[in-house]
Amino acid sequence: MPELPEMENYKILLNELIISRPITSITINRDKSINMPAQSFINQLNNASIIQVERRAKYLLFHLSNQKVLLLHLMLGGWMFYGSEEEKPKRTIQVQLSFGAKHLYFIGLRLGYLHLLTKEECNKMLSDLGPEPLEPQFTEEIFLNILKERKGTIKLKLVDQHFISGIGNCYSDEICYEAQILPMRKLEKLKETEHRKLYRSMLQTLKSATTIGGYMEHPLYVGDKKTGSYDERCKVYDREGEICPRCKNKIVLIKISSKKCFYCPGCQF
């Protein structure tokens, strides 16, 4: 599932590609991917333009010239592609927004969705999300204060969107690896020095992954060399049985409350 770095990468690239271009047509191939009758969705989008793409947690918000917002959550298996009819992937397209000869294809939205909302509806829907870890105001001291009130397994808390927003299975494992902390440990059992290591590892990991395009395997457009570049840099995620680059032990896969969790038993404590 795309996480903060993947969605931030999409946000940056889409702000370069589609801003202020009128939507010339809309195609809905799966009604369950949207939140209203297809014709109403089409009528409200036709000839509107996207004035800004914003990210919140794992969501993208497409702010429209008609004061509405398209709220996107890709969920498991969802991705996007921008290009011409000839360039589009040979995959099932659930929703298509056209900008003249170029199109934004929403693919794999079996669990994900693209909802058309008012700004008030959108704000209400996202109101229970936790703080954004890369916002300047989310300081180390604020993080430490939040931890004083929280208990639970580190892995499960990191992926809890009410605790901190935007982190999922991949980056929770990478953050714990960078901090040299076992993901199955309890937050309340960590020393303050370990809390600080966790915060710094979180920022380092998320910033690095965002800068090089996240781990998504699908390029956003033909010639996109950035999207997915972090995949080969993952130290533990999806690396079961491989050799740890830090201590040369083998990476282990376990499950914590049904969530896959990768870690190194040799250098995480």
Domain end, chosen from 90, 119, 148, is at: 119
Task: Looking at the structure, tell me whether residues 69 and 146 fall in a common domain.
Answer: no
Tell me if 130 is assigned to some domain: no
Tell me if 51 is assigned to some domain: yes
pTM for this entry = 0.96
CATH number reported for the structural domain that contains residue 92 in this entry:
3.20.190.10
Task: Looking at the structure, tell me whether residues 250 and 149 fall in a common domain.
Answer: yes
Task: Looking at the structure, tell me whether residues 205 and 114 fall in a common domain.
Answer: no
Tell me if 129 is assigned to some domain: no
Task: Looking at the structure, tell me whether residues 159 and 256 fall in a common domain.
Answer: yes
Tell me if 134 is assigned to some domain: no
Q: What are phi and psi of 164, to 5 degrees?
A: -140, 135
pLDDT digits (tens, 9 = 90+) for 195-225: 999 999 999 999 999 999 999 989 999 999 9
Tell me if 135 is assigned to some domain: no
pLDDT digits (tens, 9 = 90+) for 11-56: 999 999 999 999 999 999 999 999 999 999 999 999 999 999 999 9
Tell me if 87 is assigned to some domain: yes
Q: Return the number of other C-beta atoms located less than 10 Å from residue 108's C-beta.
A: 19
**Number of structural domains in the chain:** 2
Task: Looking at the structure, tell me whether residues 64 and 96 fall in a common domain.
Answer: yes
Per the listing, tokens 């770095």 go with: 5
Task: Looking at the structure, tell me whether residues 106 and 204 fall in a common domain.
Answer: no
Per the listing, tokens 């404590």 go with: 269
Domain that holds residue 221: 140-263
Task: Looking at the structure, tell me whether residues 8 and 101 fall in a common domain.
Answer: yes
Task: Looking at the structure, tell me whether residues 214 and 109 fall in a common domain.
Answer: no
Contact 34, 115 (CB under 8 A): yes
CA 31/CA 213 separation, integer angstroms: 30
Tell me if 124 is assigned to some domain: no
Task: Looking at the structure, tell me whether residues 47 and 79 fall in a common domain.
Answer: yes
CA 103/CA 106 separation, integer angstroms: 10
Tell me if 221 is assigned to some domain: yes
Q: What is the mean pLDDT of the chain?
A: 97
Contact 107, 127 (CB under 8 A): no
Which amino acid does the sequence have at 119? K
Task: Looking at the structure, tell me whether residues 251 and 194 fall in a common domain.
Answer: yes
pLDDT digits (tens, 9 = 90+) for 96-137: 999 999 999 999 999 999 999 999 999 999 999 999 999 999
pLDDT of the residue at 205 = 98
CATH number reported for the structural domain that contains residue 243 in this entry:
1.10.8.50
Three-state SS for 243? strand
Task: Looking at the structure, tell me whether residues 92 and 156 fall in a common domain.
Answer: no
Three-state SS for 123? helix
Task: Looking at the structure, tell me whether residues 184 and 115 fall in a common domain.
Answer: no
